[in-house]
Structure 1
Amino acid sequence: MKKIVFLLLAVLCVSFLSGCEDKNKEGGKTAEKRKAEGVTGDALVISTLGDASGLIYNITSDSASHEVSQYIYNGLVKFDKNLNIIGDLAESWEISDDSKTITFKLKKDVKWHDGEPFTADDVEFTYKFMIDNSTPTSYDADFRLVTGFQVIDPYTVRISYAEPFAPALLSWSMAVIPKHLLEGKEAAKSSLMRSPVGTGMYRFKEWKSGESITLEANEDYFDGRPNLDRLIFRIIPDLNTTFMELLNGSVDIMGLTPTQWVKQTDTALFTNSYDKYTYLAPSYAYIGYNMKNPLFEDKRIRQALTYATPKQEIIDGILFGEGVPAHGPYKPGTLWYNDNVKKYEYSPEKAKQLLAEAGWADSDGDGILDKDGKQFSFTLMTNQGNSVRTKIAETVQQNWSKIGIKVEIRVLEWASFINEYIDKGKFDAVVMGWNIVQDPDPYDVWHSSKCGPKMLNFICYSNPEVDQLIDDGRHTMNPQERKKYYDRFQEILAEDQPYTFLYVPNALVALSKRFREVAPAPAGITYNLEEWYVPAGEQKYRFEK
């Protein structure tokens, strides 16, 4: 399910091609293989910096919530290891010749975690839930383009659009939620936010707020029981503490900091127990500016801040070279990436020139620019537990001070940072990161209609030409024609600089050697988590059946 938000690359089947149908049966073969091997047991202990805000996937947007809930729910489609779209709850699908209708055939052997059968009524309920104005979701836009939803029979649904919609197939990777438990209820206040019921390979077991969330294997999973008995998400809001827990054996997998990767993993204690995996991550780091703050209204100010940001110094000094400069919201080397956009090489002098053109000068000689009697000063926020982001904030604070800008750094606990500041638009500028979505459609993050509480365009960027390009790109089926819209979109972002795009990092993963069948692929390292197992003689945790 993993809305196939927050990961990335070009998948032609997403293009809503006529007659595209899932013929992949690997899921059943994998289930048979796992059953034949009979190696079940143990747990994977995963570290996460922050606690989840809730476990109904469709109405949460924070990574901590999605990291857990992705294993609880399924969508109609999902990715295979090579980022091809295959069926999940859908057995197959057909797309009409005019690319305006998808007919899904659903799997018939699926049950909710409470034993109730999954049917087309649940898919219809999920669709209506997503377009209900009272549903607090950031992911409604794709579903509002549906013009007709028909339940043909208990295991067939037909979905119609007024015009071809490029991300249509992929949009049905959204989690399907249980009608029998949520109908007539306010989802955000439902008990399912804390005790969810899905169809996924793992079912909810326990949530100790601020400590851990535990999932247990779904014995009745339609694609075969996963080998590992439990997934335990430990909430550890500091990466240095997490690394110590890793070395102590209390955590099995974590994303290492560049310092840990380069300087702290060459010991026998580490190499005897852990493997390291690295690849260019489908993500980017950035500094985002609140476009409702008058300080940032003039694009020359934002351009100046980017010119005064030493991206390569950040990559070399903070990441130890484990990344490449970012110039926009797409991953280098992919179809959608435009390498010809304006790039901002480090130039404090150019920054000073732009600030002067915008009317800022140090009129009183105190080293801080001022205009109309007000100093150029603001607060730069980021979240606790991420030393890389804190170091980035400190680096830009020092560099921006050299061009006359005073910056205060504020580091906040994750839940407070998101719920009280980001979601409410109560910030000046932030150091954050995005995972890069599989489909190139940037609607949720960059379209002006997605500015608002709990929306993903939380900086409230607005450009009419960008809105039109995004709208046109969504309704263009040919990938090369579609790319033209996104190339122009990236050119405008490069000119407007609503973000200072910093870098695309290398993923730096440490994983306990006791886990087998780990096979990193374009879809990531955990795409086949259901196949992971620990030999009986190496299992660490035992649970009562």
Structure 2
Amino acid sequence: MKKNLLLVVLFIVALVLAACSSGESASAPKNTDGSSNEKTISNKTFTYASTSDAVGLSPILMNDSPSANVTEQVYEQLFQRNVETMEFEPKLAESYETPDENTWVIKLKEGIKFHDGTPFNAEAVKYTFDKLRDPATAAPRASLLEPVDTINVLDEYTVEIKTKYPYGAFLASLSHTNAAIVSPTADQKQDLMKEPVGTGPFKFVSWTPGDQIVLEANEEYWDGAPELKKVVYKVVPEISTAISMLQTGEVQFIDNLPTEQIKRIESLDNVNIDKIDGSPVYYLAFNHLREINQDPEFREAVAAAMDRDAFVSKLNGLGVRSDSVIGPKVFGYDSSADKAGTVYDLEKAKSLVAKNGYGNKPIKLLTANRSNFVLMAEIVQAQLTEAGFNVQIESMEWATFLDSARAGDYDLTFLSWSNVTGDGSELLYPNFHSDNVGSSNRAQYSNPEFDKLVVQSRTTIDQDERKVLLDKANKMMIEENAVVVMYHGIVTAALDKTYTGLELDPNGKWYLKNITGK
């Protein structure tokens, strides 16, 4: 009897084991450690390829696109611009009010923490903004808060900002990449240029200069953890190599698609391409501290020698031709400025060169070693040479180029501005107002009449009046050939079809928080 009972028990155990075995075989196969071989978005690495490494990862101290592409995922601002309506909305802020035209009282969201576990609060906002505007910091975008007079903490989650004058572009400034809020504790403990600490959906893990930056999901993010768990910013200096990596699946995302490779990228079966009209502007800048560049006829000769229509035709639809410094996606734009510049006239350029002997001395044309910058340099060099100029190109990697341009170590150069705020005052003031010569005004441009118009555009909250003032300042630059606009950008991105949810902004910024896998 006991023997029969034992047989029954063994039979039942065998059935149970068989059922368990059957159930397990229907799911993903297991590794020896029990983990699944099936790759889901939660354990995949999402890789973005950049031709340039970041310069630094503190929003207070950096001022370049490769760096901003990282910091925009790690840090957050008080306000953000809605990419659909182009209106400014609260981000880390909860709400705001203006008791008078020089006072802004901003209520902050509660319960948010920085990645180091310290609280986001009014003290953190005051600390960040005070450091950004402190002359000792030498922040490249200190101009964002130039109008600020005082910053007061009213309570843990309320900050009061008083300006020296009415500031029409204040919300735009507070939405800027460089106005992101940093952890005071982390900033005093470590170098945020190398180890960033913000409140954003992704946290910093590591940076191997020249190779890659690694981020991971902030699982305690106040607006819900991102689905992507690991993000790698891979430095791939050759764009053709990056495209090949995109094709093979080693890379999932690239942006700023090069015009000469666009047809190749469009042919890839595993990729979706986004193109939207953008706010970035690309222009030839004169170093206005050089005596030759202060000659109006020299600048006119250079502008007349440049066939910008011919250049834009080589962009394969990724550029918009306009003479206007303020582009169609930027507040203050007026279409009458599109054709207000010096027209292409090779014979006139030749005549001015011969008359003034402009070809007798070599001209240093500085360019970054990025594809579109190199293309601009090569085409413009050929056009200026045809007019009789003696132009020599000097190409530099991105960080070195920025330093050289800021120092004014060039005769002519190509510059760009993403117009992150989407506001014309915050285009003209940092780039061309004499206050910023030697910092963000890399053209070293100084014109008292222009300065006055720009200041007026910033010191009124009447938006219609601001448009008129900005149009006047814009056309003044165009008529003087202070710069020569090459084109306004089309913002582009190529994303592996496995993923959706990339948020692309007309200013060229993008956000990874809402990316999901199929």
The alpha-carbon deviation at position 200 of structure 1 amounts to 1.1
Q: Structure 1 length normalisation: TM-score?
A: 0.82
The aligned counterpart of 2:8 is: none
Corresponding residue for residue 505 of structure 1: 489
DSSP 3-state at the match of 1:389: helix
Q: SS of the counterpart of 1:394?
A: helix
Output aligned runs, 1:264-275, within 5 Å. Answer: 264-265=264-265, 267=267, 270-271=268-269, 273-275=270-272
**Secondary structure in 1 aligned to 2:283?**
strand
Q: How does 1:113-262 map to 2 (within 5 A)?
A: 113-173=115-175, 174-183=179-188, 190-254=190-254, 255-262=256-263
Structure with the greater alpha carbon radius of gyration: 2
**1:9-28 equivalence runs, <5 A:** none
What per-residue deviation string (whole Å, max 9, x for no partner) do you get for residues 469-502 of structure 1?
A: 0100001212211111111111111122122111
- Is 1:44 matched with 2:46? yes
The 8 Å contact of residues 280 and 507 in structure 2, kept in 1 or not, is answered as no
Partners of 1:223 and 1:334 lie apart in 2 by 29
Please tell me whether the aligned partners of residues 75 and 198 of structure 2 are also in contact (alpha carbons under 8 angstroms). Answer: yes
| Aligned equivalent of 1:415, options 380, 395, 399 | 399
CA contact (8 A) 1:79 1:523 kept: no
Residue 512 of structure 1 deviates from its aligned partner by 0.5
* Greater relative CO (CA pairs within 8 A, separation 6+): 1
Is 2:319–2:489's contact at 8 Å kept on the other side of the alignment?
A: yes
Q: 2:432 aligns with which of 446, 460, 463?
A: 446
Question: Take 2:265 and 2:101, find their aligned partners in 1: how far apart are those partners?
Answer: 51
Quote the offset at 1:245 in angstroms: 1.7
Tell me, yes or no, if the aligned pair for 1:72 and 1:203 is still in contact at 8 Å. yes
What are the equivalent positions in structure 2 for 1:289-368 lying under 5 Å apart?
289-316=286-313, 318-332=314-328, 336-341=332-337, 342-355=340-353, 359-361=355-357
What's the CA shift for 1:259? Answer: 2.1
Q: Is the 8 A contact 1:138 1:444 kept in 2?
A: no
Q: How far apart are 1:523 and its partner, in Å?
A: 7.0
Match of 1:89 among 78, 87, 92: 92
Aligned counterpart, 1:376:
361
TM (norm. structure 2) is: 0.86
Distance 1:105 1:165, change over 3 A: same
Cα offsets for 1:24-44 (capped at 9, x unmatched): xxxxxxxxxxxxxx9745343
| 2:417 is the alignment partner of 1:434 | yes
Corresponding letter in the other structure for 2:412 = A
CA, structure 1 residues 41+92, in 2 after alignment: closer, same or farther (shift >3 Å)?
A: farther
Give runs of aligned pairs for residues 392-403 of structure 1, distance below 5 A: 392-403=376-387
Matched residue, 1:17 = none
The one-letter amino acid paired with 1:207 is W
Counting aligned pairs with the same residue, the percent is 29
Q: 1:409 to 1:530 in 2, by over 3 A?
A: same
Whole-Å separation in 2 of the counterparts to 1:392 and 1:170:
30
The 8 Å contact of residues 165 and 476 in structure 1, kept in 2 or not, is answered as yes
Which residue number corresponds to residue 486 of structure 1?
470
Q: Provide, for residues 41-60 of structure 1, a one-character-per-residue CA deviation record: whole Å limited to 9, x for no partner.
A: 53431121211121111111
| 1:291–1:297 contact (8 Å) kept in structure 2 | yes
Does the aligned pair in 1 maintain the 2:491–2:508 contact within 8 Å? no
Name the CA shift for 1:506/1:218 in 2 (closer, same or farther; >3 Å). Answer: same
